Amino acid sequence: MTGATIARTGPDHRAAFPAATFGDVLRSEWTKLRSVRSTFWALTVTVVLGIALGAVISAAAAHGYAKFSVSDKLSWDPTGVSQSGMLIAQAAIAVLGVLYISSEYSSGMIRTSLIAVPKRGRVLAAKSLIFAVVTFVVGEVTCFAAFFVGQALISGHAPHAALGDPGVARAVAGGGLYLIALAVLSVAAGALLRHAAAAIAAMVAVLFVLPGIAQALPDSWRNPVTEFWPTQAGSQLTSVHIAAHSLQPWPGFGVMCLFVAIVYAVAWTLLDRRDA
Amino acid sequence: MIEAHGLVKRYGSTMAVNDLSFSIRPGMVTGFLGPNGAGKTTTMRMILGLDAPTEGSVTVDGRSYRDLPAPMREVGALLDAKALQGGRRAFDHLLCLAQSNGIPRGRVDEVIRIVGLEGVARRRAKGFSLGMSQRLGIASALLGDPAVLIFDEPVNGLDPDGIQWVRTLMRAQAAEGRTVLVSSHLMSEMALTADHLLVIGKGRLIADTSVDEFVRSSSQQSVHVRSPRAAELAARCREAGATVRAGTGPDARTDPDVIEITGMDSAEVGKLAAAHGITLFELIPVRASLEEAFMELTRESVEYQAAGVTR
């Protein structure tokens, strides 16, 4: 039963088939992403945490607004309050991005993948691009939904923001762009470190631990760290009000993108050179 | 056609593959034979571009694997049946591989039929037995209808039906003019499947020969003799140019009445005994099995050897 059915045409010459393209690898990586359950769950967590946490914090802050001190009222940022959930939602994106590639290492799938696509840079590029696009769509939906839900809960209790206010549309839409950079960073970290635990730990350190430690440093050290730390700098894009010792939105996002590009380049080089 | 020139792979101070050169031709099954740890998998990984050779080069139809325009359409490989993500359905696993090389979706259903996994194609692969995983791995190798097939120990873990199926498949693929390279550490398996043999041990090429030639050259005969005057017969045989070893009785203990003679056939030994009036109780021609011939060939190069078993 075996032989005849396989050899429809028999062994061919190279001219008989088209060369595989980057588009082929993109389709392949999209299939990989959508065909495991962890993708659905991580994205659900992102959306739900992003919106729900933002809503709870918005409602709580708005109700406390009347008792705020004058200086607290002056620094009241209804946009930022409605986006509070993103702090946690970004962790879900980082974990999913790391797992997207590190689970191929832990299962051995990476060898099957690299035999199918020996031009390894394409695998990393396709994974990064697919995950960036998915993250962008999910991120923008979450940010805008969280904004509208949050403002609805705030209005009537405290001053609320509108998309037409200066900097607000940029700050809300910037959430999706910030998550794109984070998505590429987490895929690159997964490719670089190859173990899920190590790569997730590295992402948590970059996102939460090191900025936290910086808060304990004396001002002369803390200010440059908070100003230029990649994720801190990048998150300026999502802020309406620019605090002291922080970069402007787009230069800040540029610093983060530069950092991501460096990590990506190192991951690409090692993926290409290391035995798989 | 797979061609290797002076292939070397060194891991730290360990030579996994040491100066291998060979060419694997189409239209036949080439058995890649060697004890565990001989360097078979490492060599296959270098053919497939997973490991970079420390020295030397290997090409598939004249190009290094990484330069193939659509690798799965030229080379189908199964290295490790469990190298997949268990959370993915078998169909999606094959689909993502097909897409990566621009292979149409319809071919996925075809290979699923060929390997007989229709009933479980929508199930997640983590529930698969080793036999089902091997079939899935073979399906992925066949996706691109490639002219070169590479299988690393494909019958490991299969039941007799599965083994028979893989053998038939490999022979059929070779008969269609494809290049088929299959590794094994079992000579008996290769004798049934392969036409040509590459035997390696400790990373070095020991033999590059047809299976027929290997069988002929290695099926050395010896003659088992039991006689009350064995010592005297041994002396006469040595005078006649034969090699004589002490033999063992039925209880596997050395028996002074038993000798093993090589370099003479049983007729010659019988005539010699008659000429000197020596009584024989047993006169048995003994043929070395293929497995013994293989063990003889690779004895020096077996990496892990149980102490005390060395003969």
Q: Which domains does chain B have, with CATH numbers?
A: 2-217 (3.40.50.300), 221-287 (3.30.70)
CB A2 to CB B165 under 8 A?
yes
Alpha-carbon gap, residue B99 to A31, rounded angstroms: 9
Which tens digit of pLDDT belongs to each residue from A30-80?
999 999 999 999 999 999 999 999 999 999 999 999 999 998 898 899 999
Q: Choose among A17, A29, A113: nearest Cβ to B70.
A: A17
Domain of A267 in residue numbering reads as 21-273
What pLDDT, on a 0 to 100 scale, did the predictor assign at position A11?
A: 46
Spatial CA neighbour of B225 closest among B259, B268, B269, B187 = B259
Q: Report whether B74 contacts B68 (CB < 8 A).
A: yes
pLDDT at B127: 92
- Rg (alpha carbons) of chain B, rounded to whole number: 25
**Domain assignment of residue A16, yes or no:** no
Pairing assessment for the beta strands B282-287 and B221-226 based on DSSP bridges: antiparallel
Is pTM beyond 0.90 here?
Answer: no
Across chain B, what does the average pLDDT equal? 90
The mean per-residue pLDDT over the stretch B251-258 comes to 82
Distance CA A47, CA B102 (A): 34
In this structure, what token pair is assigned to residue A167?
A: 């900097």
Instruction: Supply A159's token pair.
Output: 């001053």
- Predicted local confidence at residue B186, as pLDDT: 84
As a whole number of angstroms, the distance between CA A245 and CA A250 comes to 15
Residue A10 lies in a domain: no
What is the mean pLDDT of the segment spanning B114-138? 94
CA-nearest of B304, B309, B255, B310 to B282 is: B255
- Asked whether residue A13 is domain-assigned, the answer is no
- pLDDT, tens digit, for every residue of A104-147? 999 999 999 999 999 999 999 999 999 999 999 999 999 999 99
Model confidence over A55-65: pLDDT tens digits? Answer: 999 999 999 99
Question: Taking CA A39 as the corner, what is the angle to CA A35 and CA A45, rounded to the nearest 5 degrees?
Answer: 150
Secondary structure percentages of chain A, helix, strand, coil, to 5: 80, 0, 20
Q: Which residues of B touch A19 (CB under 8 A)?
A: 69-70
Weakest mean pLDDT among A72-86, A93-107, B14-28, B284-298: B284-298
C-alpha B204: how far from chain center = 15
Complex prediction ipTM: 0.90
Average pLDDT value for residue range B79-101: 96
pLDDT of residue B35: 86
The predicted-structure confidence for A181-197, as pLDDT tens digits, reads as follows 999 999 999 999 999 99
Q: Is the pLDDT of residue A5 over 70?
A: no
- Nearest 5°: the CA angle A120, B143, A102 is 35
Measured between beta carbons, which residues in chain A are less than 8 angstroms from residue B142?
6
**Rounded Cα distance, B53 and B50, in Å:** 10
CB–CB contact A21 B142 (8 Å) = no
**How far is A73 from chain B, CA to nearest CA, in Å?**
51
Q: Is the dihedral of CA B30, B35, B36, B42 positive or negative?
A: negative
What is the average pLDDT value for chain A, to the nearest integer? 91
Does the beta-carbon distance from B87 to A38 stay under 8 Å? yes
- The kind and range of the H/E element at B9 are strand B2-11
Summarize the confidence of residues B286-291 as an average pLDDT: 73
Rounded Cα distance between B63 and B303, Å, is 33
Q: Which amino acid is at A143?
A: C
Return the DSSP state at A18: P
Upper half-sphere CA count for residue A23 (Cβ side, 13 Å): 4
B204-210 and B196-201 beta bridge pairing: antiparallel
- Please check whether residue A82 lies inside any domain of the structure: yes
Structural domain count of chain A? 1
Does residue A189 lie in a domain region? Answer: yes
Q: Which residues contact B280 (CB under 8 A, 6 or more apart)?
A: B225, B226, B227, B270, B273
How far is Cα A104 from Cα B87, in angstroms, rounded to an integer? 11
Q: Measured between beta carbons, which residues in chain B are less than 8 angstroms from residue A20?
A: 69-72, 100-102
Q: Pairing state of beta strands B28-33 and B196-201?
A: parallel
Sequential DSSP letters for A71-140: HHHHT--HHHHHTTTHHHHHHHHHHHHHHHHHHHHHHSHHHHHHHH--SHHHHHHHHHHHHHHHHHHHHH
* pLDDT band at residue B311 using 50, 70 and 90 as cut-offs: very low
Determine which of A9-13, A103-107, B262-266 has the lowest per-residue pLDDT on average: A9-13
Helix (H/G/I), strand (E/B), else coil: B76: strand
Report the Cα B67 to chain-centroid distance in Å: 29
Residue A275, pLDDT above cutoff 90: yes
Of the candidate ranges A178-187, A192-201, A264-273, B288-297, the one whose mean pLDDT is the lowest: B288-297
Residue of B nearest to A115 (CA): B48
The end-to-end CA distance of chain B, in Å, is 39
Q: What are phi and psi of B99, to 5 degrees?
A: -60, -35
